[in-house]
Amino acid sequence: MKIRLVYSALLATVLALISGCATPQPRVVYLANNYNYSETKPLLEKGPNTIKGSALWRQQGGGVVTCAGNPVALVPKTAYSSERFIAIYGNDMAGTSAIGNKLLFSPENLEYQQHMLKTQCDAQGYFTFENVANGDFFVMTSVVWSAGTHNPQGGAIMKTVSVRGGEVKNVILAP
């Protein structure tokens, strides 16, 4: 029975490759740091700061696409999140990640996904996080559009932001 299942999976992979329908396999990233809620918790508490901004991506033809309607996350900057962002974006300061860049993290911690602040870009591509604690954060969203019939372009975009002492910080996310 086990041999038959392995053979079936192998056959499906070969057929997908032959037909050109193979989807890229995710790359596994082994993290040195474990998620630590005690690092994250103080950055999730209410604070005196505001982070507002916009996200946009200039197309090759010169048009501009925004994050309108897309979710925006404010992720506390910790050893664990920094390591993840470096794997995704190549650094932990600012960057983009193209559509189709699939990563699996090990160890994965589902609590990490729940311990971030979230909002949504408005119709013009603007977002606001109010009552943000003093500290360092990643702000991230996606800017995606289709060219032709089914050719999505763009991707995820992020930037590190620091706030302290009642700041109102304006951030522009752009490649």
pLDDT tens sequence across 88-101: 999 999 999 988 78
Q: What is the pLDDT of residues 110-130, one digit of tens each?
A: 999 999 999 999 999 999 999
What is the average pLDDT across 75-86?
A: 97
Name the pTM for this structure. Answer: 0.83
% of the chain exceeding 70 in pLDDT: 86
Q: Judge: domain 24-173, CATH 3.40.630.30.
A: no
The CA–CA distances, whole Å, from 94 to 12, 59, 65, 122, 133 equal: 39, 19, 18, 22, 21
Tokens of 2: 């086990």
Q: What is the pLDDT of residues 7-22, one digit of tens each?
A: 334 333 333 333 344 5
